[in-house]
Structure 1
């Protein structure tokens, strides 16, 4: 992927239709330095917009509101992608979720292969939720339903 790509390729769009985790990279509003946090409440609205939700208590919300240029790093099939763009608040408080969540849309400006030259991922990283699986599934369903209504 050497040329500038401004939307998700089909493989990434498909990946973002089900639960996946990404690294959300922001600029810290106090230090001005880079930050990176893992999130999983994210999906592709279309090939040019990613929608994600964050707990309103998270420092990330303040960071994005202060500097909306962000990068999403995602582990795709055989490679890692950096998705750059500008995030806008879609809904300050999602309805139907048991705690305050802020919903953002990332308008994609660039999608780049971020894996070093000559490398290929043998497998994407996986994660497990280590708390009550029924509670996790219920919360995930509430958050994604609220995000889709936003």
Structure 2
């Protein structure tokens, strides 16, 4: 049995130092079942903690406050990682952003390779913002700056 990794590797830490998207897996507060949503306001505070911000209109805020257990799925170098952890509210509402948001920290419990045996990720998926790029860049800057101050 292999040892459980509880911190981000150098390559994963580097991924979380610039804008990336992840799948945030939570427990739905109403159904009790699993749910998954793509988010991009996430970065690594250090190798054992991720920070994320969510719009209060998102169901995820209620899910996380009701059940702090999460899994973050991230597309890394040649593989996919599942990062298991537990959530803590850092700032609610998040100061310095133009709408009501909540800032959370994920304390990492385990980092696992989640790609099936014998496979290698050829390239990570890419996304494009399809609204006003200038407005998107400005909002991203505001949110990340506020998250770093929280």
Instruction: State the TM bucket, normalised to the shorter chain.
Output: over 0.9
Other structure's SS at 2:4 match: coil
> What's the offset of the Cα at 1:121?
0.4
Q: What is the deviation of 1:134?
A: 0.1
Name 2:69's counterpart in structure 1: 69
Structure 2 CA distance for aligned equivalents of residues 95 and 104 of structure 1:
13
State the number of aligned residues.
149
SS in 1 for 2:73: strand
Tell me the distance in 1 between the aligned counterparts of 2:115 and 2:92: 34
Q: Distance in 2 between matches of 1:57 and 1:91?
A: 16
**Stretches (4+) displaced over 2 A:** none
Would you say 1:34 and 2:23 are equivalent positions? no
In the alignment, which residue of structure 1 is the partner of 2:145? 145
Question: How does the TM-score come out when normalised to structure 1?
Answer: 0.98
Q: Per-residue displacement from partner, 1:16-40 (whole Å, max 9, x unpaired)?
A: 0000000000000010000000000
Per-residue Cα deviation, 1:10-69 (whole angstroms, up to 9, x for no partner): 100011000000000000001000000000000000000000000011100000000000
**How is 1:14-33 mapped onto 2 (pairs within 5 angstroms)?**
14-33=14-33
SS at structure 2 position matched to 1:138: helix
Cα displacement string for residues 91-139 of structure 1 (whole angstroms, at most 9, x for unaligned residues): 0111111100100000000000000000000000000000000000000
Q: State the alpha-carbon separation in 1 of the partners of residues 20 and 4 from structure 2.
A: 24
1:49 matched to 2:49? The reply is yes
1:65-105 CA distance string (max 9 Å, x none): 00000000000000000000000000011111110010000
Tell me what 1:8 maps to.
8
Provide structure 1 residue ranges, at least 5 long, that are not aligned to the other structure. Answer: none
Q: Equivalent residue for 2:126?
A: 126
- The answer for unaligned runs of 5 or more in structure 2 is none
